[in-house]
Amino acid sequence: MGTIQEESYFQHLLTTYEKLVYTICFRATGNQFDAEDLTQDTFLAVYKNLPAFDGTYEKAWIVKIASNKCLDFQKSAGRRVQPTGEELFLQIEDTGNSPEQQYLEREAREGIRRLCERLKEPYQSIAVCHFCQGKTAAEIARESGKNQKTVQTWIYRARGMLKKLMREEEARCRT
């Protein structure tokens, strides 16, 4: 980018609004993987347009970018993602950390794990480490002794496979 000031400002925006953007993207798409992609796209747009940003209404500016990205995603060909009844139910949350909420969160994590276990090696172990345990590519590379670029490529491919499996599950739930 340009100055160190802009870099640190971007880091501040990422830290402050990552959860907000992810929540909006997840609500708009209904699944974790698309929400991650859209969150990345949102912050990429934030990064590219930061020099032109005047600093006013910071939160609204980022929300507008996220909204535009979500709408573009939904308008693109063949993407009429509607959360199924099950996913909608998972999004309904209780106030506080009630047992019901904990159960729903556990079920969501188990759902991701079940999908990861349907993949073949080496993608299965990579997917479990990354999507279920939340490890970064660098951490996985360090623990497994593999090249980080290789791990990143496997994660990218595993993500594509999981998205495909998730859409098949959604289609099966609707029928």
Partner 1 sequence: MQNIEEKRHITEEIWSAVSCHTISFTDYRKILEHTCTCTWCAERLAAEETKAKKEPPAYLKEQILERVGRPDVQAATMAKQTSKGLRLFWYSLRVGFAVTVSVCLLAVSLNVQKTGRFADSGLTMSGRTEYAEDGLWQLNQASQKAVSWINGFSNFLLHGGLE
Q: Which positions lie near partner 1, rule CB under 8 A?
A: 1-2, 10-11, 14-15, 18-20, 22-24, 26-28, 30, 32, 35-36, 39-40, 43-44, 47-48, 51, 57, 59-64, 67-68, 70-71, 74, 82-83, 88, 91-93, 101, 130-131, 134-138
Contacts of 81 (CB under 8 A, 6+ apart): 29, 30, 31, 34, 74
Q: How far is the CB of 26 from partner 1 (least distance, A)?
A: 6
For partner 1, give the closer residue by CB, 51 or 160: 51
SS3 84: coil
Task: Give the Cβ contact number of residue 43 at 10 Å.
Answer: 20
Checking 17-20 for CB contacts under 8 A at 24+ apart, the result is: 17/59, 17/62, 18/43, 20/59, 20/62, 20/63
For partner 1, give the closer residue by CB, 49 or 114: 49
Residue 113, CA distances (Å) to 9, 20, 31, 118, 155 in order: 36, 25, 14, 9, 15
Q: How far is the CB of 18 from partner 1 (least distance, A)?
A: 6
CA distance 3 to 131: 34
For partner 1, give the closer residue by CB, 1 or 117: 1
For partner 1, give the closer residue by CB, 43 or 123: 43
Q: How far is the CB of 168 from partner 1 (least distance, A)?
A: 20
Rg (CA), the chain: 18
Q: How far is the CB of 19 from partner 1 (least distance, A)?
A: 6
For partner 1, give the closer residue by CB, 25 or 119: 25
Q: How far is the CB of 172 from partner 1 (least distance, A)?
A: 19
